[in-house]
Structure 1
Amino acid sequence: MRRLHLKEINDRTFEILKESFPSLELLYECDPNMVQISANYGEGIYDIEQIGKRRDYLVDMEAMHGGYYVTEPYISSVSGDLCITVVHKCQGNFFFLDFRLRKLLERFHLIVSNTKFHRLSRFSYGIIGGGLLLFGLFVVLYGITSFVMYLFSDAAMSLEVVFKPVIALTLGLAVFDLGKTIFEQEVLPSTQNISEVFNPKSLITFMVSIIIALLIEALLVVFKISINDYKDLPYAAALIVAVSFLLYVFSRFVALQKVGSLKKGE
C-alpha cells in the first residue's frame, strides 16, 4: 500500500487496488473524526448515501500501529459475506479497505476453493431434489385420483381399493420429504456450510414412511390371503417378520442417535 502511494479515494483508486488485492470489496475515506467523507467505491458500487456516517466503531485507535489497523472479521452489510477492514492513515485522514475473508484465505492457500465443482454439485442436487419433489407430488395425486375414480365408478369396493391409495400417499410423503431435505441441505445457499456432518432427520422420516407403507402392504396381503387361500399365509408371515426386523433395526438406530446426541451435549 505504501508502494501505491495512495493520496485520494475515487473509482480509479479502487481499480488500481483491485489489481493488487483481488479480495478487495469496498473502499472509502474518513476524516480524523472517523466521519466518512467519500462515497463507497466497489465493483459496480458508487454509494454517496454513506457520506457523513461515523465509522469510529470499526477502529480501536490504541491498537493502531504504524498507521494501520485490521478489524476482527464481521458480516459485510454490502455482500453479506465475512470480511475484514484494513484502516490506513494517510495525510491525517483514514482510508478504509474492506476485504472478503474467504478470498484472502484462498489467496494465502489456507483453504482450497472448488467453486466450479461446488456449483456443479448444487446443480446436480437441485435436479435430483426437484425430481423427487415432483415425483412425490405425482404419487400423492395418483393415490387421491385413483380413489376418487373408484368412488365414482361401478366397481365394487374392496380392501385393495382402500389400502392402495393409503400406500401411495405414504410413499409420496416419504419421497417428497426426501426431496425437500436434499433441497434444504444441499441446494439452498442459506443452509450451506452447516457444521453438522450428519443430520439423521431426513433418514428417520424416510424410513418411518417406508416402514408404515410396508406394514400396510403386509396387512393387506394378510387380508387377501385370509379371504382367498390360506396356503399362501406363510408368505404374508415372512413379510411381517421382515418388516418387524426392519422396525427393530430402526428403533436401535434411533436409540443410538439419542445416545450420541446426549454425549455431544455433555
Structure 2
Amino acid sequence: MARMSYISSVERYHEYEHVIHSLLESILMSIEDGLTKERDTRYLIKQYPFLELQYCLNAEGLQQGNNVCFKRAYSKKLGESGNQQDLSERPYFLNAKASDKVCFTDPYISIATNHLCISAIKELKKPINNQHYLVVDVSLTQLIEFVMGDTARANMSPYFKAGYGIIVACLFCLVLFLLNIVFSDIYALLTHVDTSSDPLEPFSIIIYITLALAVFDLGKTILEEEILMHKDIFRHSSTRRTITRFISTVLIAISIEALLTMFKAALGQSEYLMPAIAMMLAVVGLLIALAIYVYLGAKAETLLMRARLKQKSSK
C-alpha cells in the first residue's frame, strides 16, 4: 500500500494538531538544552525519525550557520548550505517575533526536500553566538505515522507491496492462461463446423471468459487497493471500500454464471434449473448483505465523526 497521501496527512494533522504541537515543543526544548552534539543528533534521529532540518536565526531573520540535516539522504545536499540565508519575510519568523510562544507553520511543500512538512520556531531564552531563534523542519507524513504508532508498518510497506505484486502477477498469468483456452476454443469452434455438435458447447467458452474477467478484476482490485493507492487502516471506510469492491467482483461473476445456467435450462437441460435459481438467490442474498454492511458501516463512521467533533468542541 502506498504511503499516506497529502490530503490524508493534512486531515490527520488537524485531527492530532494539539498532540503534534506538544511533541514538537518538547523536542525544541531538548535541542535548546544542548542536544546538538553529534552523539545527541544520532539520538534524536533514532528517537524521532521524522526530523529533517535544524537551523538558527538571528534577531533580523538571517540564518546563523549551515543546516543541521537529520536525514542522510539530504546531508550532502543541505548540510553544507543555508548560512546567512535571509528568512526575515517568512511567516513563521514574523509570528515568532510577535509572540513569545512556540510558533508552527501550516503544512507546506518544502523547497529543500520536496516533501510535505511543517516548521516549528522557538525563541531561545539565552541567545548564543547571535542565535536568537531555533527552527526545526519535520516530515509531516512521518510525524503522523510516529504519533499514530504506525512507523513500523509504514517501513514494511515496500515488502508488503512486493508480496502483493507477486500475487497480482500470478493472477494475471492465470488470466492469460484462461484467455489462451478461450481463443483456442473459439478458433476450434469457427474452423470445425459440425452440425451434430452440442449447441451448448459455446457456453463453456463464456464460462472461461467470465472466470478470466473475475480473476482479472480481483487482481486489479488488489493492485489498486494494496499497491497503487493509500489505504488508511485506521479508517473503517478504507476497509469497507476494499470489501465492497471484492464482493462486487464476486457478485458479477456469480450473476453471469447464474444467467448462463438459466440459458442451459431454457435450452432443454432442465437439471440446471434449480442450480440456476439457487445461484440467483445467492446473488440476491449477497447484494442485500452488502447493502446492509455498507449502510451500517457508513452510519457507524458518521457517529464516530460526530463524537470526535463533540470532543474537540468540548476542549
Matches within 5 A, 1:229-244: 233=270, 235-244=271-280
Q: Which amino acid aligns with 1:164?
A: S
Which consecutive unaligned segments of at least 5 residues does structure 1 have? Answer: 7-12
Which residue identity is paired with 1:111?
G
1:252 and 2:281 aligned: no
2:240 corresponds in structure 1 to 198
Which amino acid is the alignment partner of residue 167 of structure 1?
A: I
TM-score (norm 1): 0.70
Q: Distance in 1 between matches of 2:200 and 2:63?
A: 75
In 2: Cα distance, 1:63 partner to 1:2 partner: 18
Q: Superposition pairs for residues 6-85 of structure 1, below 5 Å?
A: 15=38, 18-22=41-45, 23=49, 24-34=51-61, 40-42=67-69, 43-45=72-74, 46-47=77-78, 48=81, 51-52=85-86, 56-59=90-93, 60-61=95-96, 62-65=98-101, 69-71=102-104, 74=107, 77=110, 78=113, 80=115, 85=120
Separation in 2, partners of 1:56, 1:249 = 60
**Greater relative CO, 1 or 2 (CA 8 Å, sep 6+):** 2
Q: Deviations over 1:3-30 (max 9, x none)?
A: 4386xxxxxx7x5553131132123344
Offset at residue 70 of structure 1 (A): 4.9
Structure 1 residues 33 and 17 mapped into 2: Cα distance closer, same or farther (>3 Å)?
farther
**Structure (1 or 2) with the greater helix fraction:** 2
Q: Which blocks of at least 5 consecutive residues in structure 2 are unaligned?
A: 1-30, 304-315
How far does residue 171 in structure 1 lie from its aligned partner after superposition? 1.8
What does residue 9 of structure 1 align with?
A: none
CA distance in 2, matches of 1:136, 1:180: 11
Superposition TM-score, scaled by structure 2 size: 0.61
Shift of 1:218: 0.8
- Equivalent in 170, 185, 188 of residue 210 of structure 2: 170
Deviation at 1:49, TM superposition (A): 8.3
1:76-102: CA deviation from partner (whole Å, max 9, x where unpaired): 532635555354544244332223467
**1:114 to 2:161 alignment:** no
Post-superposition shift, 1:143?
2.0
- The code of the aligned residue for 2:73 comes to G
RMSD (Å), alpha carbons? 3.8
Equivalent residues of 1:174, 1:205 under 8 A apart: no
The separation in 2 between residues aligned to 1:106 and 1:162, in whole angstroms, is: 54
Structure ID, larger Rg = 1
- Cα 1:54–1:72 change in 2 (3 A) is closer
Deviation at 1:172, TM superposition (A): 1.4
